Structure 1
Amino acid sequence: MDEDSRYEAVRSRDGRFDGEFFFGVATTGIYCRPSCPAVTPKRRNVRFFMTAAAAQGSGFRACRRCRPDAVPGSAEWNVRADVVGRAMRLIGDGVVDREGVAGLAVRLGYSARQVQRQLTAELGAGPVALARAQRAHTARVLVQTTDLPITEIAFASGFASVRQFNDTIRAVYASTPSELRTNAPQPPAKSLAKEPDSAPADGAGPTAEPSAGIPLRLAHRGPYQSAAVFDLLQREAVPGIEEVTGIPGRRTYRRTLRLPYGTGIVAVDERPGTLKGVPRPHTGGWLDARLHLTDHRDLTTAVQRLRRLFDLDADPYAVDERLGADPRLGPLVAARPGLRSPGAADPEELAVRALVGRAESERLVRRHGRTLDVPSGSLTHLFPEPSVLAEAATGDTPVAPDEPAPGNALAGLVAALADGTVRLDVGADRDDAQAALVALPCMDAATVAVIRARALGDPDVAPPGADIPDAWRPWRSYAVQHLLAAGELELP
């Protein structure tokens, strides 16, 4: 899009572009999302930015009305496999906060200077500024949804000092942390199923059980076929680490998470009203979620992992436009607009599960998974780490009884994950990861395709042997979901 096209999107308050770009208003010093309901500013007063961090770096503060810091992430970072796309996924996962720019550069295989130069040239902000914007958003969520002391929130959000925290909050939101807490949105008296005039995004917002963990609204753009996603999660749920409760249309998905600083239990509700089809044109919506974390520093990482699992940063307009024009897929897209290609909350866990299946995964959880200090209903364990499985696989966990344990596929996979031969984190190079997987003993092409599509979040994967033409690029993973939903394709 050129700047004139972006301005037309702003004039029409087009929610399709929320998160794809931001605009600042020179006369007010405020930056907004394209769908902001405020009066459209004059073209000469508008400045456009690729990221919220770039807008903040240019001196603009976040609009209090549209909360531009909390829009869905750009779908571009899911599609792109270059260094910028990989860097954005890693920053979203909190790598800069945990390991610094040097750690980010090592993961990408570039020097810190090269990473800084490429991000700044393309996005208008370097990795430190991008991480700072993310920390500010995390801080706002904790301020407005918890009773944690402000000082504790400062460090939980990743800030190095309380002073840095206070200065950033004032610069980004033109408010002190105390003022943010005082002005936090209050839960409405009406049902959450009612569609609002403009859908809120990740961050402080009303939920049915505000005391049950940190309440969030996980925003998405465009229509969202929640039934298909929850059906898949229900079929795949591994007892002990996952459960799906409730009736279709009003289900809740719960699972345990191993996180960098601690553990978490997350719950995501199926959104009433999305079961039958399409919200209003050019609008988005959200899924209500609650997060119980043993360490609040894990908030950003937990949210990003849920977003990847539910494919919330996808661009359904681009996907449906391309696939809907195909004679074979057109009727399927019309029947299920906004169908998503779910990812994984834990890529290494997904790889193991894709290889051994649900029943064996449950056995691995019961035998080798770490027991939660405080179980939550049927959620009692964490999925075992690759290093734990690698040690166990040398003696007692063959995939097939007649296969020697050291040479079986599970042993090869978990050993490769444990020693870094195979990398499946959000910053991994997808082609390199696939080549490493294919080289493992007993690893079949169909399993590798599932891992690439789900664990690595590749939107353009065709299962081997399936009739998936190249004309459906770059959205073949979504085409597969349409064929599966229509019963025209079966995967092992």
Structure 2
Amino acid sequence: MDDDSRYEAVRGRDERFDGVFFTGVLTTGIYCRPSCPAVTPRRHNVRFFPSAAAAQRAGLRACRRCRPDAVPGSAEWNVRADLTGRAMRLIADGIVDREGVEGLARRLGYSVRQIRRQLTAELGAGPVALARVRRAHTARVLLQTTELPVTEIAFAAGFASVRQFNDTIREIHARTPRELRARGRTRSGASAAGTGGVALRLACRGPYATGAVLDFLARRAVPGIEEVTGTPGRRVYRRTLALPYGHGIAEVHESGGTAADGGTTDGAAGGGWLPCRLHLADLRDLTTAVQRIRRLLDLDADPYAVTERLGADPLLGPLVHRRPGLRSPGAADPHELAVRAVLGQQVTVGAARTLAGTLVAAYGKPLPAPDGTLTHLFPEPGSLADAPLTELGMPAARRAALRTLAAALADGALVLDPGADRDEAERTLLALRGIGPWTAGYIRMRALGDPDVFLPGDAGVRHALARLGAGADRAGDWRPWRSYALHHLWHSTEITEPAETAGTHEPENR
């Protein structure tokens, strides 16, 4: 896009571009999301920024009306596999807050100087400034949804000192933390403290097929760590989370809404949102927990771009228009997803779920107290690397494959964190005994959030393509959104349980 086309998006209050760029209004000293409902500023008074951090670096503060700090993340970072894309995914996960810029550089395999130069060139701000934006957003959420003392919120949000926290909040929001808290209660009508946890509204871009996503997760919900309760249209997905500073429980409700439904606690002006509540043992995990749930639910996707490509295809078009906003669910824990993918080899989704539940009961870490049917955290790779796994009743070769995978994850030979090199991870997976193309591709799609994965050997895909009278060679036309095409094909089948794993024959011995 050039600046003229960006201005046309602002004039049209086009929420497709929320999070893609930010609009700085020089006469008022504020920056907004493109869909901000305020009066459109004149063209010569507008400057565009690639990130909120760049706008803040230019001396602008966040708009109080459209809350540009709460936009969905740019879908570009899911698509891109280069240094910038990998760095942005790690920053979103909180790596800079936990490990500093040096930790970010170490994970990416580049020097600190190279990373700063690259991010500043593309986004107008370095990794510290980008992380600072996330800290400020976390602080605002905590101020407006909890009764925690301001001092505790400062450190929970990741600030090094109360003074730094106060200065940042005043700079970004032009209010003191106490004023921001009071304003938030006025907008939302009440504090969320009485109901426990941290209440959020997770913003998403465009239509979101909540029912289809929850169907997908419900069929795979592992006893002990996941559950889906309620009736269609009012379901709640709940799961445990293993986080850097402690454990957590996330609740996501099927019945979301749009900005027209009133004030929000986590902003969705112009777009939609899903209600979420997080119960955290340590509030320092808030940013990481939110980002992991967003990845699981694929909330930063760009459904408009997906529909533009796939909807125009003669074969997929009718499927795409039948299910607008269908997403490609990721993973809350990439290590967990990888283990579950191996458990799913040569069995149905139901059988894989049962095996995973047995694994959780035998090797998972119990919660301090059960919460409904949620009782454990998923086993860490280190606890599985040398485990006998006889409880699973699987063939010896597949148990060996599971231990091999767990050992590679535990010792760092296989990296599946948000900043992982996807190609390198897939090569490493394929080199492990007992891991074949389907398992490696499925892990790449879900654990690493790759939007462009196709599984031609999958039984459900073969069945769907046969019904449509097409072959797997058509998949090349669906780049760079083949993962979404895959989900449309799975949903098109009339199989009661569209098991990706059913009939998929990964080698037990390679």
Letter in 2 for 1:129: A
Match of 2:11 in 1: 11
Match of 2:424 in 1: 432
Match of 1:474 in 2: 480
Match of 1:286 in 2: 273
Match of 2:326 in 1: 339
User: Normalising to structure 2: TM-score of the pair?
Assistant: 0.88
Match of 2:353 in 1: 358
1:152 aligns with 2:152: yes
* Partners of 1:262 and 1:295 within 8 A in 2: yes
1:314 aligns with 2:309: no
Shift of 1:258: 0.4
Letter in 1 for 2:371: S
| Mapping of residues 53-452 of structure 1, within 5 Å | 53-186=53-186, 211-271=195-255, 283-356=270-343, 357-392=352-387, 395-397=388-390, 401-403=394-396, 408-452=400-444
Describe the shift of the 1:210–1:247 C-alpha distance in structure 2 as closer, same or farther (beyond 3 A).
farther
Shift of 1:358: 1.4
* Partners of 1:263 and 1:293 within 8 A in 2: yes
Describe the shift of the 1:470–1:416 C-alpha distance in structure 2 as closer, same or farther (beyond 3 A).
same
CA RMSD of superposed structures (Å): 1.8
Shift of 1:187: 7.2
* CA distance in structure 2 between the aligned counterparts of 1:186 and 1:360, rounded to whole angstroms: 49
Shift of 1:336: 0.8
* Partners of 2:255 and 2:274 within 8 A in 1: yes
Shift of 1:248: 0.9
Structure 1, unaligned runs of 5 or more? 190-204, 275-281
* Partners of 1:250 and 1:272 within 8 A in 2: no
* Partners of 1:445 and 1:464 within 8 A in 2: no
User: Normalising to structure 1: TM-score of the pair?
Assistant: 0.92
Shift of 1:464: 3.3
Letter in 1 for 2:117: R
Match of 1:199 in 2: none
* Partners of 2:146 and 2:191 within 8 A in 1: no
Describe the shift of the 1:414–1:180 C-alpha distance in structure 2 as closer, same or farther (beyond 3 A).
same
Shift of 1:449: 1.3
* Partners of 2:397 and 2:434 within 8 A in 1: no
Letter in 1 for 2:373: S
Describe the shift of the 1:236–1:38 C-alpha distance in structure 2 as closer, same or farther (beyond 3 A).
same
Letter in 1 for 2:4: D
Letter in 1 for 2:489: L
Letter in 1 for 2:202: L
Letter in 2 for 1:491: E
Structure 2, unaligned runs of 5 or more? 259-268, 344-351, 463-471, 502-510
* Partners of 2:145 and 2:191 within 8 A in 1: no
Q: Give the secondary structure class of the aligned counterpart of 1:260.
A: coil
Describe the shift of the 1:241–1:401 C-alpha distance in structure 2 as closer, same or farther (beyond 3 A).
closer
Match of 2:450 in 1: 458
Shift of 1:185: 4.3
1:22 aligns with 2:22: yes
Q: What count of residue pairs does the alignment treat as equivalent?
A: 466
Match of 1:485 in 2: 491
Q: Give the secondary structure class of the aligned counterpart of 2:368.
A: strand
Identity score, percent: 67
Q: Give the secondary structure class of the aligned counterpart of 1:128.
A: helix
* CA distance in structure 1 between the aligned counterparts of 2:397 and 2:318, rounded to whole angstroms: 48
Q: Give the secondary structure class of the aligned counterpart of 1:408.
A: helix
Letter in 1 for 2:273: W
Query: What CA deviation, in whole Å up to 9, does each residue of 1:391-444 have, x standing for no partner?
Result: 31xx34486655268x71101110111011111110000000000000001112
Q: Tell me whether 83-92 or 367-376 shows the greater mean CA deviation.
A: 367-376
Query: What CA deviation, in whole Å up to 9, does each residue of 1:200-248 have, x standing for no partner?
Result: xxxxx987x9623100000001000001100011100001100000011
Letter in 1 for 2:305: A
Query: What CA deviation, in whole Å up to 9, does each residue of 1:142-174 have, x standing for no partner?
Result: 011000000000001110000000000000000
Query: What CA deviation, in whole Å up to 9, does each residue of 1:41-84 have, x standing for no partner?
Result: 11111110011111011100000000000000000000000000
Describe the shift of the 1:448–1:138 C-alpha distance in structure 2 as closer, same or farther (beyond 3 A).
same
Match of 1:202 in 2: none
